[in-house]
């Protein structure tokens, strides 16, 4: 069962106090690298968890996480394909979460990778996963992270999303289960799922419109790593 985000923040702060990081006379406790601590550069680069989305490569993110990702192409039932590096559950910032980096790759590159794939596997969400040839995995290491996908292990209620991230520019109800919370000023989209994991999508300013269009119009579950 996922833990509540408010409770986990309290546990983190209590732990810091217990270890002497903060003295009893401390009046303000600041915990850094939280999912809602987002900075946007004048160039539209999004900084979160110490990661510069749109500027960091797959290899550089792997070095930061000290983890080698699984790299694959995912294809939806409607034929849309994305190239992703999946790191599994890692500690990014204060909390653990599943981390996925969707890579900047044009259609021709993705098609070339698919043509050379080693295995095609069906996924529970209805998508197909193409295992890549080793040479293409090595090539993908130099690709930039286009979208950083953060799937927390803790639960966020609608009230907590509002409290931590602020009022969204808009919300789009996909179905009885999923609602999209849109934060274009933060280059952020949150999938609020009342039956499963929330999913946070961090983008650049330039790539945000395409992400919003894709997510809010897709007919299948966007979480290929449930």
Six-digit token pair at 109? 């590159």
DSSP lists the bridge partners of residue 191 as: 180, 199
Domain boundaries, the chain: 35-217
pTM reported for the whole predicted model: 0.85
Q: What parts of the chain have a pLDDT lower than 50?
A: 1, 7-29
| Under 8 Å between Cβ of 144 and 54 | yes
Where in 140-206 does DSSP place strands (E)? 145-152, 154-155, 170-173, 178-183, 188-193, 199-202
- Residues 162-200 have pLDDT tens digits of 999 999 999 999 888 899 999 999 999 999 988 888 999
Q: Which residues contact 73 (CB under 8 A, 6 or more apart)?
A: 81, 82, 83, 84, 110, 113, 114, 117, 129, 130, 132
Judged by DSSP in three states, 67 sits in coil
């Amino acid at each position: 069962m996922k833990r509540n985000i408010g409770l986990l923040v309290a546990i983190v702060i209590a732990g810091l106090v217990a270890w002497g990081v903060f003295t009893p006379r401390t009046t303000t406790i600041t915990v850094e690298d939280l999912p809602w601590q987002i900075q946007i550069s004048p160039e539209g680069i999004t900084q979160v968890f110490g990661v510069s989305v749109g500027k960091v490569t797959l290899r550089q993110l792997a070095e930061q996480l000290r983890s080698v990702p699984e790299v694959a192409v995912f294809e939806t039932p409607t034929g849309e394909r994305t190239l992703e590096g999946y790191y599994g559950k890692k500690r990014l910032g204060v909390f653990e979460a599943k981390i996925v980096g969707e890579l900047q790759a044009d259609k021709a590159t993705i098609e070339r990778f698919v043509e050379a794939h080693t295995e095609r596997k069906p996924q529970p969400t209805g998508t197909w996963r193409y295992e890549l040839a080793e040479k293409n995995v090595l090539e993908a290491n130099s690709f930039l992270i286009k979208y950083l996908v953060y799937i927390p292990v803790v639960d966020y209620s609608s009230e907590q999303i509002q409290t931590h991230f602020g009022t969204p520019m808009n919300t789009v109800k996909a179905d009885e289960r999923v609602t999209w919370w849109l934060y274009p000023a933060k280059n952020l989209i949150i999938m609020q799922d009342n039956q499963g994991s929330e999913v946070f999508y961090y983008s650049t300013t330039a790539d945000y419109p395409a992400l919003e269009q894709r997510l809010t119009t897709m007919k299948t579950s966007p979480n290929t790593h449930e």
